[in-house]
Structure 1
Amino acid sequence: MPKPAPHPSECQTADQLQHPHDFGQGAKRKAEQRATLVTLLTLVTMLVEVVAGMITGSMALLADGIHMAGHAMALGLAALAYYLSRKHAHDRRLSLGSGKIADLAAYTSALLLGVSTLWLVYESIHRLLAPAELMPQEAMIVAVIGLAVNLISAWLLAGKHEHVHSQGDEEHHHDSNLSAALVHVLADALTSVAAIVGLAAAWLWGWNWLDPVIALMAAMVILRWSWGLLRQTSSVLLDREGPDEIRRSARKLLQKEGDTDIVDLHIWSVGQGSWTLVAAVVAHGTTTPQQYRSSLRSIKNLHHPIIEVSYCRQCAKAREEG
Structure 2
Amino acid sequence: MSRPAPESEHCHTADQLEHPHDFGQGQKRKAERRATLVTLLTFVTMLAEVAAGLWTGSMALLADGIHMAGHAMALGLAALAYYLSRRHAHDRRLSLGSGKIADLAAYTSALMLGVSTMWLMYESAHRLLEPGALMPKEAMTVAVIGLVVNLVSAVLLTGKHEHGHGHGEHEHDSNLGAAVAHVMADVVTSVAAIVGLGAAWIFGWHWLDPAIALVASLVILRWSWGLLRQTAGVLLDREGPDEIRKQARKQLQRMGDTDVVDLHVWSVGQGSWTLVAAVVAHGATTPEQYRAKLRTIKNLHHPIIEVSYCQQCARERKQG
**Paired residue secondary structure (2:13):** helix
Aligned alpha-carbon RMSD (Å): 1.8
Q: Is the 8 A contact 2:63 2:217 kept in 1?
A: no
39-48 or 263-272: bigger deviation = 39-48
Could you tell me which residue of structure 2 aligns to residue 26 of structure 1? 26
Q: Is the 8 A contact 2:75 2:179 kept in 1?
A: yes
Q: C-alpha separation between the residues in 1 aligned to 2:228 and 2:16?
A: 41
Could you tell me which residue of structure 2 aligns to residue 250 of structure 1? 248
Deviations 1:112-141 (A, max 9, x none): 332222222212111111111111111101
Q: Mapping of 1:52-67 within 5 angstroms?
A: 52-67=52-67
Q: Alignment partner for residue 314 of structure 2, among 301, 313, 316?
A: 316
Q: Is the 8 A contact 2:24 2:301 kept in 1?
A: yes
Q: CA deviation at 1:255?
A: 0.6
Q: C-alpha separation between the residues in 2 aligned to 1:212 and 1:61?
A: 9
Question: What one-letter code is carried by the residue in structure 1 that aligns with 2:183?
Answer: V
Q: Is the 8 A contact 2:63 2:216 kept in 1?
A: no
Q: C-alpha separation between the residues in 2 aligned to 1:50 and 1:115?
A: 17
Could you tell me which residue of structure 2 aligns to residue 86 of structure 1? 86
Q: Is the 8 A contact 2:282 2:309 kept in 1?
A: yes
**Paired residue secondary structure (1:302):** coil
154-163 or 302-311: bigger deviation = 154-163
Q: Is the 8 A contact 1:28 1:86 kept in 2?
A: yes
Identity percentage of aligned residues: 80
Q: Alignment partner for residue 173 of structure 1, among 171, 178, 190?
A: 171
User: Is 2:203 the counterpart of 1:205?
Assistant: yes
Q: CA deviation at 1:219?
A: 1.7
**Paired residue secondary structure (2:268):** strand
Q: C-alpha separation between the residues in 2 aligned to 1:226 and 1:83?
A: 24
Q: Alignment partner for residue 303 of structure 2, among 285, 302, 305?
A: 305
Q: C-alpha separation between the residues in 2 aligned to 1:117 and 1:194?
A: 16
Change (3 A) 1:83 1:23: same
* TM-score, with length taken from structure 2: 0.91
**Paired residue secondary structure (1:191):** helix
Q: CA deviation at 1:264?
A: 1.1
Count residues with an aligned counterpart: 308
Q: Mapping of 1:1-322 within 5 angstroms?
A: 13-160=13-160, 161=163, 169=168, 171-322=169-320
Deviations 1:77-129 (A, max 9, x none): 11100000000000010001000001111112222332222222212111111
Which sections of structure 2, spanning at least 5 residues, go unmatched? 1-10
Q: C-alpha separation between the residues in 1 aligned to 2:156 and 2:112?
A: 22
Q: C-alpha separation between the residues in 2 aligned to 1:134 and 1:152?
A: 28
Q: CA deviation at 1:200?
A: 0.4
204-213 or 49-58: bigger deviation = 49-58
**Paired residue secondary structure (1:14):** coil
Question: What one-letter code is carried by the residue in structure 1 that aligns with 2:148?
Answer: A
Q: CA deviation at 1:273?
A: 0.6
Identify which of structures 1 and 2 has the higher relative contact order when contacts are C-alpha pairs closer than 8 Å and 6+ apart: 2
Q: Is the 8 A contact 1:103 1:236 kept in 2?
A: yes
* TM-score, with length taken from structure 1: 0.91
Q: C-alpha separation between the residues in 2 aligned to 1:229 and 1:243?
A: 18
Q: Is the 8 A contact 1:106 1:180 kept in 2?
A: no
Q: CA deviation at 1:162?
A: 5.0
Q: C-alpha separation between the residues in 2 aligned to 1:310 and 1:91?
A: 32
